[in-house]
Amino acid sequence: MPDALCPSNPGFLMRLSRYFLPVMKEAPAEAEIVSHKLMLRAGMIQQQSAGIYSWLPLGYAVLRKVEQIVREEMNAAGAIEILMPTIQSADLWRESGRYDAYGKEMLRIQDRHERDMLFGPTNEEMVTDIFRRHVRSYRQLPLNLYHIQWKFRDEIRPRFGVMRGREFLMKDAYSFDIDFEGAKRSYEAMFVAYLRAFRRMGLTAIPMQAETGPIGGDLSHEFQILAPTGESAVYYDAAFEEVDFASPDLDVEELKRFYAAADEKHDAAACTVPPERLRTGRGVEVGHIFYFGTKYSVPLKGVVTGPDGAEVPVHMGSYGIGVSRLVGALIEAFHDDQGIVWPESVAPFKVGIVNLRPEDEATNGVAETIYEALQKAGVDVLLDDRNERPGVKFASMDLIGLPWQVTVGPRGAAAGLAELKSRRGGDKVEIGVDALIQRLT
């Protein structure tokens, strides 16, 4: 199916004159970090309240691309997509004991009947409720259910745009197994799926030991992307710099043996990395995986009958990815002085065409030919057909960071030529229209 017909596509209007792209020359003063500034300047988001954003067409297109990569890697790892509501009943959380324990980050609401409700910050309780009502036997295991849904956490300090929002989009998966051995396999499948998903976005996320709370063990990892503006202090073995995260036979056990820890989890006394190999820096937590055993299955009665007929509580894990945070994290990783530099896999459009002279017949003809051919081939393409000065058009193209820029002007058009520029490398070539279309499809 060509992209233009695909529901995840930004839309049918991909002529800039008819699109909605409210770019700004300067970022509002409240934006502190480069990704937040660029998201506002490129017209990707608009703040509605502290930590709560509207996603405008360009931002929404990227959000959907990130979401789709995460979805595909979850499905490939055997997880099954569902959709749970954002609003939950407090009663479920009373059953697990977390209603009181969760504290001020939880947004508590009452309905018209004065029933206590809440805007879900996470879904362990609810997914266990789904499980306990339908799963009876160990033969139905292993099971991994996930959803991609908005969460609300009343963060004390929402900041950095979508990186620390109050309302944010998370993928959260939940695994159910009969015993620890099974749960460990489920955990490792997620571990690898996470590395794949981040890799597909062009990111290197380092898995780091994370707090496991009272359960202990080594089964909790945060995935951290290195960025100077990251909120976590990270410590890791330089050996990570040698790892080929794209390799199909990544050895999870080996990765887990390398030292990497964030914040308080780093223990200088216990750290076994020789000083010359210990790297320190800042990280952005883009994912977190967690094995927590029977913490929720016991109080919420998530039980199955085992092979011997006896009822046992299931062993569970939960696995989060910050889908909306990733959009900011990607820009932190991929930008230059002119603007965003999207990797192709998450770019809102793969190609941007600058028509330098929309009023000139030959120029217009060439630009339209390229635009239509690319669209037909299923390439996401944005055509700048506005009556603006070339400088303005080039600046907005660089700002929004599409991987390929095609410029059509009267001189080239007369000879059937256009200019192709790679946003990342900056190199430009003059190229015939047919060859250009072939290269981009």
Is residue 177 a contact partner of residue 190, using CB atoms and an 8 Å limit?
no
Longest Cα–Cα distance in the chain: 81
Query: Does 153 sit near ligand ATP (CB under 6 A)?
Result: yes
For residue 303, the SS3 value is strand
Q: Which does 322 bind (CB under 5 to 8 A by kind): Mg ion, ligand ATP, none?
A: ligand ATP
Instruction: Tell me whether strands 52-55 and 167-177 are parallel, antiparallel or unpaired.
Output: unpaired
Minimum gap (Å) between residue 319 Cβ and ligand ATP: 9
Residue among 207, 317, 320, 352 that touches ligand ATP (CB under 6 A) = 320
Q: Which does 170 bind (CB under 5 to 8 A by kind): ligand ATP, Mg ion, none?
A: ligand ATP
Neighbour tally for 269: CB within 10 Å: 4
Query: Does 205 sit near ligand ATP (CB under 6 A)?
Result: no
Is residue 401 a contact partner of residue 341, using CB atoms and an 8 Å limit?
yes
Question: How many helices, marked H, and strands, marked E, lie in the chain?
Answer: 12, 23
Minimum gap (Å) between residue 95 Cβ and ligand ATP: 20
Question: What is the per-residue burial (b if ≥16 Cβ within 10 Å, else e) of 325-344?
Answer: bbbbbbbbbbbeeebbbbbe
C-alpha–C-alpha distance, residues 319 and 187, integer Å: 8
Minimum gap (Å) between residue 173 Cβ and ligand ATP: 11
Minimum gap (Å) between residue 401 Cβ and ligand ATP: 21
Query: Does 287 sit near ligand ATP (CB under 6 A)?
Result: yes
Q: Which does 406 bind (CB under 5 to 8 A by kind): Mg ion, ligand ATP, none?
A: none
Residue among 67, 129, 237, 285 that touches ligand ATP (CB under 6 A) = 285
The CA-atom distances, in angstroms, between 250 and each of 20, 110, 193, 206 are 43, 48, 11, 13
Is residue 93 a contact partner of residue 117, using CB atoms and an 8 Å limit?
no
Minimum gap (Å) between residue 301 Cβ and ligand ATP: 24
Query: Does 43 sit near ligand ATP (CB under 6 A)?
Result: no
Minimum gap (Å) between residue 285 Cβ and Mg ion: 5
Subset of residues 324 to 343 that bind ligand ATP, contact rule: CB under 6 A: 324-325
- Residue closer to Mg ion by CB (options 231, 360) is 231
* The pair of three-digit structure tokens given for residue 103, joined into one six-digit string: 């504290």
Binding mask 103-142 for ligand ATP (x = CB under 6 A): ----------------------------------------
Q: Which does 287 bind (CB under 5 to 8 A by kind): ligand ATP, Mg ion, none?
A: ligand ATP
Q: In what helix (H) or strand (E) does residue 364 lie, and over which residues does it extend?
A: helix 361-376
Query: Does 16 sit near ligand ATP (CB under 6 A)?
Result: no
* The pair of three-digit structure tokens given for residue 151, joined into one six-digit string: 């969460």
| Nearest residue relative to ligand ATP (C-beta) | 322
- Residue closer to ligand ATP by CB (options 34, 406) is 34
- The residues of the shown chain that bind Mg ion, judged by CB under 5 A, are 285, 288
> DSSP of 368-402, one letter per residue?
HHHHHHHHHTT--EEEE--S--HHHHHHHHHHHT-
C-alpha–C-alpha distance, residues 426 and 415, integer Å: 23
Query: Does 322 sit near ligand ATP (CB under 6 A)?
Result: yes
Subset of residues 79 to 98 that bind ligand ATP, contact rule: CB under 6 A: none
Q: What residues pair up with 46 in beta bridges, in sequence order? A: 54
C-alpha–C-alpha distance, residues 387 and 147, integer Å: 44
Query: Does 161 sit near ligand ATP (CB under 6 A)?
Result: no
Return residues touching ligand ATP (CB under 6 A). 153, 155, 164-165, 168, 170, 285-288, 320, 322, 324-325
